[in-house]
Amino acid sequence: MQFSTLVFAALASLASAQTTSTGKMIAVTVGINGTLKFSPDNIKASVGDMVQFQFVAGNHTATQSNFDNPCQPLSMHNASATGFHSGFQPAAASKAMGMTSVYTIPINDTKPIWVYCAQGKHCEAGMVMVINENTAANSSRSLDAYKKLAAGASTVVPSGNAANSSTGGTTGTTTGAPGASATAAGMSLAAPSTVGLAAIAAVALLMI
Ligand SMILES: *[C@@H]1O[C@H](CO)[C@@H](O)[C@H](O)[C@H]1NC(C)=O
Ligand SMILES: *[C@@H]1O[C@H](CO)[C@@H](O)[C@H](O)[C@H]1NC(C)=O
Ligand SMILES: *[C@@H]1O[C@H](CO)[C@@H](O)[C@H](O)[C@H]1NC(C)=O
Ligand SMILES: *[C@@H]1O[C@H](CO)[C@@H](O)[C@H](O)[C@H]1NC(C)=O
Ligand SMILES: *[C@@H]1O[C@H](CO)[C@@H](O)[C@H](O)[C@H]1NC(C)=O
Ligand SMILES: *[C@@H]1O[C@H](CO)[C@@H](O)[C@H](O)[C@H]1NC(C)=O
Ligand SMILES: [Cu+2]
């Protein structure tokens, strides 16, 4: 059953967070109130932090690109780069069970990470974001500039192709309302200010 995979992924994510991460969890809601938006869309994250995409509405992805080629997976322009891809996350399905699907990526360095949604024309419509924008290093590479490039993207690579670059994150579900705070016994993640980690564990255990 597909759900067990998600559940195990969630548990694996918690387990690896326990042993490898000392950072904080930063929540990004995806598609809030039916918008084509990552909220917030410009965040700073330190090495060891986790960024958790929370798919609260619609049917979106969080997919990594490079700056110059928005709307296309990183691997399409660099065969040796993997780059993450959440897969499509239809919120209604998890909502029907009182849950929210989440996709969590670890932050390994502070280079800018460019992210888009691979659904339909969402990327062109500005459904993009950046982690660790660094205009001091290159003033051309701002979120605004990335958005402008995305608006004019001639090729959008969604589902099938983006799936090739699917690595680097974990998918799970949570009942925690975005904004809920919780700590789980044994977690070495700093008490997450925005994410209900304990809720993930609770749901995972219930599902199993
Ligand atoms: C979403 O809608 C709620 C209720 O209308 C509102 O309070 C909130 O500010 C909205 N959030 C965003 C990011 O638009
Ligand atoms: C979500 O979007 C993908 C890609 O467009 C599509 O294949 C899938 O059927 C959609 N899922 C739902 C539940 O609408
Ligand atoms: C992804 O895989 C499909 C099918 O194997 C292939 O046609 C496509 O070119 C690949 N895309 C990328 C970006 O590697
Ligand atoms: C391609 O990706 C690899 C692995 O992440 C990286 O070391 C390399 O610098 C990248 N090449 C370019 C041209 O960005
Ligand atoms: C700054 O970024 C732009 C857009 O990607 C690129 O064309 C330019 O070569 C970069 N400049 C430097 C000094 O790397
Ligand atoms: C950080 O490294 C892990 C392990 O190699 C990888 O799975 C993940 O995708 C990386 N994070 C990002 C944002 O690239
Ligand atoms: Cu989208």
Atom of ligand 1 nearest to the CA of 37: 13
Sequence spans of domains, the chain: 1-21+191-208, 22-182
> CATH classification of 22-182 is 3.40.50.1370, yes or no?
no
Tell me, in angstroms, the distance from the centre of ligand 6 to residue 96's CA: 31
- Nearest residue (CA) to ligand 6, atom 6: 168
Residue 72, judged by CB atoms within 10 A of its CB (0-12, 13-18, 19+), counts as: buried
Report the alpha-carbon distance of residue 12 to residue 200 in Å, rounded. 11
Q: Which residues have CB under 6 Å of ligand 6?
A: 84, 105-108, 113, 167-168
* pLDDT, tens digit, 9 for 90 and up, residues 93-121: 999 999 999 999 999 999 999 999 999 99
Is 86 strand, coil or helix? coil
The pTM assigned to this predicted structure is 0.77
* pLDDT, tens digit, 9 for 90 and up, residues 19-63: 445 799 999 999 999 999 999 999 999 999 999 999 999 999 999
Atom of ligand 3 nearest to the CA of 76: 13
